[in-house]
Each structure stands twice: as structure tokens, then as C-alpha cells.
């Protein structure tokens, strides 16, 4: 298989443009309503087929043992589910901060599932891959469906949407936020009334909020001060459970101006919102209408 060129695929970031927590299931998971949008920035995964069935990932992620790495977990899951006897060498170029609310781990898992499906010639439907992915994380299915989406349930009931695609400046406040800690916090509100997708879209970006924000501000003062600084300059929000926050800007120039003003030592980047995932564009694979 060594003369076959490797498959080089993007694993884009996502933003939660809105996040409402509408309830909690008996297994503890929270039911939510969210709008997912992709960014034109992310990790890159290089995949090469192996005939001996082995799965090998380089480099190791700091603090993440191989058995917990979502890329290897996704690869093993697909091998088991499909009965495929092939293997792969996987190389990850990690750009997205871990635990940042940008869905990096989930996106890596989705790119692995879709990439190996292609490399191993399995041809599984996207919906089957999304079902497999949901076992790895609530955010994996949207990365497999590949379109900006209104999501309900725990994030798996998806309706494709077309959103405004402005420029964003994403800032990482330099601390990690624990998703389980935010969802366990007693002060988190879990009773926001559900709304229809039409109403959410009609309200537009100015009306969109993230229900985790008050709790994350309380638990992580660094996130609160970053949000305050950004909000004084442009409409800004938390993505997922943080730690990243993002400002919405009308043009690349405004994004550049905001980046130039940023206090030294903050880690920040500009990115474009995307309604179509670059992963699906790279593979030429879209759900049938
Ligand atoms: C908040 C979001 O970022 C919105 O996109 C996601 O729903 C979080 O997705 P994720 O990071 O893939 O999270 P998972 O790995 O599925 O869950 C981590 C932990 O967060 C809690 N969790 C997560 C998602 C959810 N809807 N309800 C929860 O209560 C659970 O305790 C779970 O054990
Ligand atoms: N390939 C991977 N990339 C990133 N994190 C991984 C990976 N594999 C396992 N993890 C673990 O998953 C945790 C969450 O990572 P991730 O970057 O997806 O968080 P996130 O951006 O907050 O995601 P979300 O928005 O879905 O909550 C990490 O802290 C890390 O321990």
C-alpha cells in the first residue's frame, strides 16, 4: 500500500452560535438546542493504509493516552463495526486548543471515521458513521453530516441550516474548562424553554446566547474577563462550555484590527464561518438530498 498517496484531510473547528439547555435526561446528559457552524481553521489528519491491520498514530497528544485518543478510538470502533481487516498509519497536525469548546477532538474523530471509510473502501452511509460517532462524543455527528446545523437532543438530531458567515476572532483565555464540571454545576440553568428552529433563525445573531456562559463566568474568572474585554469591542460569546470565546465581525479588516488591539500574551486567531465542512469538500462526499 506504500505507493498509494496518503489521504490528507481537514478536521475543522466548530462554533456554537447559540446554546440553550432545555432539560436533562435520566442518564445525566443535558438536552440542548444549538446552532453549529464550522470554521475554515482546524487540525489536519494524514491517513495511509496498512495491510497488516495495525493502527498507529503519531505524535502522541500530551496528557492523552493512546487508548483515550478519540482518533484511535474512532479507528477501532470502525474496524470492529465493519469487520475490516485493514489498518492505518495516522498522523495528526494539532492546531486547535484541547478542551476549548471548538470541538477539536470530536472533529478529529469524525475525520478519522470518514477518512478510513474512504481508505478502506467501506462506503458506509454518513448516517451510520454518525451513529458510531455519537458513542465517542455528542459533537461528533455534526462533523460527519458536514453542514451547519440546528441541533437538538444531545446534539445528534440535526437539521441543516444556512447561517450568516461573518468573520470571527476566537480567543483562548489560556485555561482549560472541564465540560463535565460545567454540566455538573448546580447553578447551571437547565430549564430554558425550547424554541422552534424558525424562531431562533428569525431572531438572528443579535438574539443568540449561550446558557453555559453565566456558570463558566463564575467558575473561570479568566473567561469572564476575556469576554468583557471582547464584548466592549464587538458582539462576543462563549462556544460550547468554553474556554474559547469568539467575537463576530463584519469583515476581515475588522478582525485584523481587533487582533492588533489584543493584549500581549493572549492566544487568538481570525477565521471565517463556513456552512459546508471542508472535510466533505475534500472527499467530494455529501449526504444525498
Ligand atoms: C457543550 C457542547 O460542546 C455543545 O456543542 C457539547 O455538547 C459537548 O460535547 P462533547 O465535548 O463531545 O462532550 P461529551 O464528551 O459527549 O461529554 C462530556 C461530558 O459532558 C456532559 N454532557 C455533555 C453533553 C451534554 N449534552 N450533556 C452533558 O451533560 C456529560 O457529563 C459528559 O460526560
Ligand atoms: N484527538 C484529540 N484531540 C483533542 N482532544 C482529545 C483527543 N482525543 C482525546 N481528547 C480528549 O478530549 C478532551 C476534549 O477535547 P476537545 O478538544 O474536543 O474539547 P472541546 O473543544 O471542548 O470539545 P467540545 O466543544 O466538543 O466540548 C481533551 O481535553 C482530551 O483529553
Q: Whose CA is nearest to atom 17 of ligand 2?
A: 98
Show me where the domains of the chain are located. Answer: 1-289
Q: Whose CA is nearest to atom 29 of ligand 2?
A: 99
Can you give the pLDDT at residue 1? 52
| pLDDT tens-digit readout, 145-160 | 999 999 999 988 999 9
Report yes or no on whether pTM surpasses 0.90. yes
Ligand 2 cavity residues, CB under 6 Å: 61, 64, 68-71, 98-106, 108, 137, 139, 179, 240-241
**What is the 90 CA–ligand 2 centroid distance (Å)?**
17
With cut-offs at 50, 70 and 90, classify the pLDDT of residue 288: low
Residues acting as catalytic residues = 14, 139
225 is in an annotated binding site: no
Can you give the pLDDT at residue 26? 95
Can you give the pLDDT at residue 289? 43
Give CA–CA dist 65/45, Å, rounded. Answer: 18
With cut-offs at 50, 70 and 90, classify the pLDDT of residue 265: confident
| pLDDT tens-digit readout, 75-127 | 999 999 999 999 999 999 999 999 899 999 999 999 999 999 999 999 999 99
**What is the 94 CA–ligand 2 centroid distance (Å)?**
11
Is the CB of residue 106 below 6 angstroms from any atom belonging to ligand 1?
yes
Cα–Cα distances in angstroms (integers) from residue 65 to residues 9, 42, 77, 113, 116, in the given order: 23, 21, 17, 20, 21
Cα angle 23-244-249, degrees, rounded to a multiple of 5: 105
More confident residue, 96 or 266: 96
Can you give the pLDDT at residue 287? 76
Residue-wise DSSP of 255-277: HHHHHHHSPTT-EEEEEEEESB-
Alpha carbons within 13 A on the beta-carbon side of 135: 12
Arithmetic mean of pLDDT, 163-171: 95
pLDDT at 286 over 90: no
With cut-offs at 50, 70 and 90, classify the pLDDT of residue 270: very high
pLDDT at 223 over 80: yes
Tell me which of 3.40.50.620, 3.30.230.10, 3.90.226.10, 3.40.50.720 is the CATH number of domain 1-289. Answer: 3.30.230.10
pLDDT at 177 over 50: yes
| pLDDT tens-digit readout, 37-87 | 999 999 999 999 999 999 999 999 999 999 999 999 999 999 999 999 999
The pLDDT mean for the chain works out to 96
Amino acid at each position: 500500500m506504500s505507493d498509494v498517496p496518503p489521504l490528507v484531510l481537514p478536521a475543522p473547528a466548530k462554533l456554537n452560535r447559540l446554546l440553550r439547555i432545555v432539560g436533562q435526561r435520566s442518564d445525566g446528559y443535558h438536552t440542548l438546542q444549538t446552532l453549529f457552524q464550522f470554521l475554515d481553521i482546524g487540525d489536519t489528519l494524514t491517513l495511509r493504509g496498512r495491510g497488516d491491520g495495525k493502527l498507529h498514530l503519531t505524535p502522541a497528544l500530551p496528557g492523552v493516552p493512546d487508548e483515550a485518543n478519540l482518533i484511535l478510538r474512532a479507528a477501532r470502533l470502525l474496524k470492529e463495526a465493519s469487520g475490516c481487516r485493514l489498518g492505518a498509519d495516522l498522523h495528526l497536525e494539532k492546531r486547535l486548543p484541547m478542551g476549548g469548546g471548538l470541538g477539536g477532538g470530536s472533529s478529529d474523530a469524525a475525520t478519522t471515521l470518514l477518512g478510513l471509510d474512504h481508505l478502506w473502501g467501506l462506503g458506509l452511509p454518513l448516517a451510520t458513521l454518525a451513529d458510531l460517532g455519537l458513542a465517542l462524543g455528542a459533537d461528533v455527528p455534526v462533523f460527519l453530516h458536514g453542514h451547519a446545523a440546528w441541533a437538538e437532543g444531545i446534539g445528534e438530531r440535526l437539521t441543516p441550516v444556512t447561517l450568516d458567515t461573518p468573520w470571527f476572532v476566537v480567543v483562548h483565555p489560556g485555561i482549560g474548562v472541564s465540560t463535565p464540571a460545567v454540566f455538573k454545576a448546580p447553578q447551571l440553568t437547565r430549564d430554558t424553554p425550547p424554541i422552534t428552529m424558525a424562531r431562533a433563525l428569525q431572531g438572528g445573531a443579535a438574539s443568540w446566547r449561550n446558557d453555559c456562559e453565566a456558570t463558566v463566568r463564575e467558575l473561570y474568572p479568566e473567561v469572564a474577563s476575556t469576554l468583557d474585554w471582547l464584548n466592549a469591542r464587538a458582539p462576543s460569546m462563549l462556544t460550547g462550555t468554553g474556554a474559547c470565546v469568539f467575537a463576530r465581525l463584519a469583515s476581515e479588516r475588522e478582525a485584523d484590527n481587533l487582533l492588533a488591539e489584543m493584549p500581549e500574551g493572549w492566544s487568538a486567531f481570525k477565521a471565517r464561518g463556513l456552512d459546508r465542512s471542508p472535510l466533505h469538500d475534500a472527499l467530494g462526499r455529501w449526504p444525498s438530498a
